[in-house]
Amino acid sequence: VVPDLVGLVKTHDLVGLTKMDETPGVDAKRPEVDEAAPGSEVDEVASKDNAEGQLECGFCSHRNDEINRLLEENRKLKEELSRKKMDEQFFHDDVMVRYYTGLPCFAVLKGVLTQLLPCLPQTGRKLSQFQMLILTLMRLRLNLPIQHIAHLFCIDRKKVSTTFRDTIGVMFTHLSPLVHWPERHCLQGSMPHQFVEAFGNRIAVIVDCFEINIERASNLKARAQTFSHYKHKHTLKYLIGITPQGAVSFISKGWGGRASDKHVTENSGLLQKLLPGDLVLADRGFDIRDIVGLMCAEVKIPTFTRGRCQLDAKDVEETRKIAHLRVHVERVIGCVRTKYTILSGNIPLSMVLPCEGEDMVLLDKVVSVCCALTNMCPSVVLKP
């Protein structure tokens, strides 16, 4: 029996081994699946990473485009805000400086600001010190209404008036020395040739008066003193003197339009600046020969006919010379009034009331500041 069982076991084992040899497919295919699986996963992962990379690159490109668009929009908004704020960046353009301030370039404007900066009051966040100066210059230059300026700078009317008055006071203190009487050797050293040919190097000043319209006062006495028979309006009269080079060398305080040119000249302090031998050019209304003679100086005015039918040849020639040279003071007056149009408008009574603790009115300071600013610009008289 035992041998038979052993034989059966061996026979069964052989049959099993034979069957295993006959059906190798399961074991053969399994290694192929196991070997192929890692490769498929790598390709799938690589493909997935590639798709994600492309998606991310597309997103980054879109994001960069959006960032660039926002940066450009931010730049444009800053420029627009700068224009609305009237800050320094807006006035880097000299064309803007000339239009809004009358000054020749931004460098001159910056120099004026540097000079005034220590004395300009701080107004908090509403207005910078630069904006205070620009506000004042814009009103001088363009004669803008207070309400319009208030809208431009986003402040109220009272703030505009206070800022203008305070800034004019600071400008008058620091800029009025630009209107000064030069030394004789300075005048003679740069005398234009047309003056030398006509009268040598003796001319010290060319004088004239100009009038500024003001509102009619309610006080009858003030109304009578300010009424100008020449303009047929209520005015303040100012005496101006220029050098032969075209710079404003003297500006008086305001006088009522009723005052004569002679009275203004005699009481303005100009004659006290003359030196012996000086020559003054003036118009016919300045009949000041006697008072100028007391200073050992001389005044030249166009000759009158004084009952004669006509002037002789000598008087005609001298009158022609005087008129040809005296026209420069009219050109300077025209330049000041054109450059700063507030002087050509109708001045409110609030600007012709005496300043507290001072013997001048606000308009006196305005006129002096306008003349000083004009002296910062190129002269209208030809250079030698």
Question: Which residues, including other chains, have CB under 8 Å from residue 25's CB and lie 6 or more apart?
Answer: none
Q: Are residues 158 and 247 in the same domain?
A: no
Q: Are residues 190 and 234 in the same domain?
A: yes
Q: Are residues 184 and 205 in the same domain?
A: yes
| Tokens 């020559």 belong to residue | 279
Range of the domain at 145: 90-175
Buried/exposed 262-277: b ≥16 CB within 10 Å, e otherwise: eebbbebebbeebeee
Query: For residues 205 and 195, is the Cβ–Cβ distance under 8 A?
Result: no
Long-range contacts of 213-216 (CB under 8 A, 24+ apart): 213/345, 213/346, 213/347, 214/346, 214/347, 214/348, 214/349, 214/351, 214/352, 214/363, 215/346, 215/347, 215/348, 215/349
Task: Classify residue 102: in a domain, yes or no.
Answer: yes
Q: Are residues 56 and 197 in the same domain?
A: no
Is 26 exposed, middle or buried, given 0-12, 13-18 or 19+ CB atoms closer than 10 A?
exposed
Pick the last residue of a domain from 157, 175, 193: 175
Question: Which residues, including other chains, have CB under 8 Å from residue 44's CB and lie 6 or more apart?
Answer: none
Q: Are residues 45 and 115 in the same domain?
A: no
Per-residue pLDDT of the chain (384 residues; tens, 9 = 90+): 444 544 544 444 444 444 444 444 444 444 444 544 555 666 666 666 676 666 667 778 888 888 888 998 888 887 766 666 667 778 888 999 999 999 999 999 999 999 999 999 876 678 899 999 999 999 999 999 999 999 998 899 999 999 999 999 999 999 999 999 999 999 999 999 999 999 999 999 999 999 999 999 999 999 999 999 989 999 999 999 999 999 999 999 999 999 999 999 999 999 999 999 999 999 988 989 999 999 999 999 887 666 566 767 777 888 888 888 999 999 999 999 999 999 999 999 999 998 888 889 999 999 999 999 999 999 988 654
Helices (H), the chain: 2-22, 25-85, 94-101, 106-116, 129-142, 146-153, 157-175, 184-189, 193-199, 220-226, 261-267, 289-293, 313-339, 362-375
Task: Classify residue 334: in a domain, yes or no.
Answer: yes
Q: Are residues 155 and 195 in the same domain?
A: no
Q: Are residues 34 and 164 in the same domain?
A: no
State how many domains the chain has: 3
Task: Classify residue 233: in a domain, yes or no.
Answer: yes
The residue among 166, 176, 93, 78 whose CA lies nearest residue 127 is: 166
Residue type, 38: P
Task: Classify residue 322: in a domain, yes or no.
Answer: yes
Task: Classify residue 83: in a domain, yes or no.
Answer: no
